[in-house]
């Protein structure tokens, strides 16, 4: 569901003038009835690329194309190897620059989604995992992990993709621990979003 609001404004990004309308993000329901972790990958263009939000955290690796990242009120660049973590209900979208990438791409994005409730259960059972709480709090406004090794990130996401059950959860935890150790975490949106 997309609801359009009647406000339109001009925006200048890197010397390019844009006319932007304020659009309520589409809410994406993620069914976790059978799996705690949802893995997705998709190409470009696709209907999955839209201004949207969901209750889950999303760890998102760009593997092809360049363009604009929209996360909350943040607008910035993305390129192959860009790694982002968005928090619950934070609207986001990655739009490929079609002038420099006019052809379709089979796989542009690799991502995994997981929810706060699962993290809470994990931290209650194993308090050592509370060391990641600051990262998850920062993710509520979005994070870009600057300079993170894209081959390393892709390998971790492929491992999550290729495993099931408890092995998939362990693979996600291993990746989360690695990104938590990464020093260059760039906060994105100025404010958290509540929808």
CA distance 52 to 50: 6
pLDDT attached to residue 14: 55
Q: Is there a domain that residue 14 lies in?
A: no
Query: Both tokens of residue 1?
Result: 């569901």
Q: Is there a domain that residue 7 lies in?
A: no
- CATH number, domain with residue 134: 2.60.120.280
Q: Is there a domain that residue 19 lies in?
A: no
Average pLDDT over residues 62-89: 96
Q: Are 82 and 8 a contacting pair, CB within 8 Å?
A: no
Q: pLDDT by residue (tens digit) across 16-28?
A: 555 444 577 777 7
* Tally of structural domains, the chain: 1
CA distance 87 to 114: 10
- In which domain, by residue range, is 107 found? 27-187
Q: Is there a domain that residue 86 lies in?
A: yes
User: 171 by DSSP, 3-state: which?
Assistant: helix
Q: pLDDT by residue (tens digit) across 99-158?
A: 888 898 999 999 999 999 999 999 999 999 999 999 999 999 999 999 999 999 999 999
pTM of the model: 0.83
Confidence tier at 13 by pLDDT (50, 70, 90): low
């Amino acid at each position: 569901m997309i609801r359009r609001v009647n406000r339109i404004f001009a925006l200048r990004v890197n010397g390019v003038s844009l006319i932007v309308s304020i659009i309520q993000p589409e809410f994406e329901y993620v069914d976790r009835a059978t799996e705690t972790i949802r893995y997705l990958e998709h190409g470009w263009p696709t209907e999955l690329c839209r201004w949207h939000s969901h209750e889950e955290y999303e760890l998102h690796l760009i593997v092809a194309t360049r363009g604009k990242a929209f996360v909350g009120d943040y607008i910035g660049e993305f390129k192959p190897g860009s790694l982002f973590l968005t928090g619950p209900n934070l609207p986001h979208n990655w739009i490929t620059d079609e002038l420099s990438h006019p052809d379709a791409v089979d796989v542009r994005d690799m991502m995994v989604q997981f929810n706060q409730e699962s993290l809470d259960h994990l931290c209650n059972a194993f308090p050592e995992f509370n060391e990641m709480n600051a990262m998850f709090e920062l993710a509520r406004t979005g994070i870009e992990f600057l300079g993170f090794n894209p081959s390393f990130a892709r390998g971790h996401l492929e491992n999550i993709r290729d495993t099931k059950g408890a092995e998939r959860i362990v693979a996600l935890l291993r990746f989360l621990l690695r990104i938590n150790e990464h020093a260059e975490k760039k906060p994105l949106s100025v404010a958290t979003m509540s929808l």
